[in-house]
Amino acid sequence: MAKKPVKYCVVDAFADSAFKGNPAAVCFLEEERDDQWLQAVATEFNVPVTCYLTPITNSYHNRFRLRWFTHLNEVKLCGHATLAAAYALFWSGLVDTNIMIEFVTPNGLLTAKKIPPINITSVSDLHEFLIEIDLPAHPVMESNFDETSQISEALPGASIINIKRTQIGNDILVEVKCGKNVTEIQPQFDAIAKWPGRGVIISGIAPPGSGFDFYSRFFCPKDGVDEDHVCGSAHCALASYWSKKLGKCDFNAYQASPRGGVLNLHLDEQNQRVLLRGKAVMVMEGCILV
């Protein structure tokens, strides 16, 4: 029997206009597909992450299985594609907008809810809303990666203040002197791929008057994403790191990639969870026919 076509959409997460933020393909599955097919489709889309939503039967209609794939491999957690998946469900009317969505994922249970605008003045405002997703915080630890020559080779121009490691993501976190320095660095991806762990986060205090607390960028060539446009999971570590540095738990953050993206973060008092808010934009819809 031929497989049913699979509906999909492409959403720009952490953006308030198209072709900004971080794109994700969201695929709506009516039945399970094997991992080879999931990876082949993600490779075909060739966006930073493709995610798959499958309704969970014998449950209320706002619970879904959620998996994430880059064009090379499956990943354990992806913040921007989770936000994109939630936006797609709310935008399409597939879920009740007044009820929290639950995602059953390889990284445990995640939730998402819609936060509508306070003042609605036009029909277009109905699609202008924030999504809040609840993600695990990533504790930051001391790093034993102290090869200055390797760091200088991989991040030329970086004025390094501190080097840490994220416990969950296993990323190297490098604080530099300021947000301007974050934007100036020209990463050498072949050199970064030789570093231990998954990838490297660079971050610095935002410029005065910018409206942000810190800037960041994220490089992950091992997962086939040289520079992530806007990385939600990296901010689960950045929230923990800057909370200790700045003595606060609420942040406005800017990921200074070429596409750029804005995130609002809240770290709970137990340093266990991060509430991450952002906007999203629907870019295209279609069907996978195979």
Residue 121 has pLDDT above 80, yes or no: no
Supply the pLDDT for residue 196: 83
Please give the average per-residue pLDDT across 190-195, as a whole number: 91
Residues 84 and 156 in one domain: no
222 found inside a domain: yes
Are 243 and 156 members of one domain?
yes
Same-domain pairing of 122 and 172: no
Please indicate, yes or no, whether residues 95 and 14 belong to a single structural domain of this protein.
Answer: yes
Same domain, 105 and 154: no
Residue-level pLDDT at 273? 96
Instruction: Mark whether 122 and 152 lie in a shared domain.
Output: no
Over range 133-159, report the average pLDDT: 86
Residue 98 forms part of a structural domain: yes
Among 52-66, 88-102, 119-133, 232-246, top mean pLDDT goes to 232-246
pTM of the entire predicted model: 0.91
Strands 214-220 and 200-205: antiparallel
Q: pLDDT category, 123, cuts 50, 70, 90?
A: very low
pLDDT value of residue 60: 60
Mean pLDDT for the chain overall = 91
Number of domain units in the chain:
2
Kindly state whether residues 148 and 233 are assigned to the same domain: yes
186, 249: one domain: yes
My answer on whether 40 and 163 are in the same domain is no
| Domain assignment of residue 153, given as a range | 140-271
Residue 258 falls inside a structural domain: yes
- pLDDT tens figures, 58-100: 656 689 999 999 999 999 999 999 999 999 999 998 888 788 9
Q: Please state which of the ranges 14-23, 93-102, 118-127, 131-140 shows the lowest mean pLDDT.
A: 118-127
Task: Let me know whether 237 and 214 are in one domain.
Answer: yes
Instruction: Identify any residues that bridge with 67 across adjacent strands, giving them in sequence order.
Output: 52
* 119 plus 149 within the same structural domain: no
- pLDDT one-digit tens code per residue, 161-176: 999 999 888 899 999 9
Within-domain flag for 10: yes
Residues 111 and 180 in one domain: no
pLDDT (average), residues 10-18: 96
CATH code at position 233: 3.10.310.10
Residue 1 lies in a domain: no
In this model, does residue 20 exceed pLDDT 60? yes
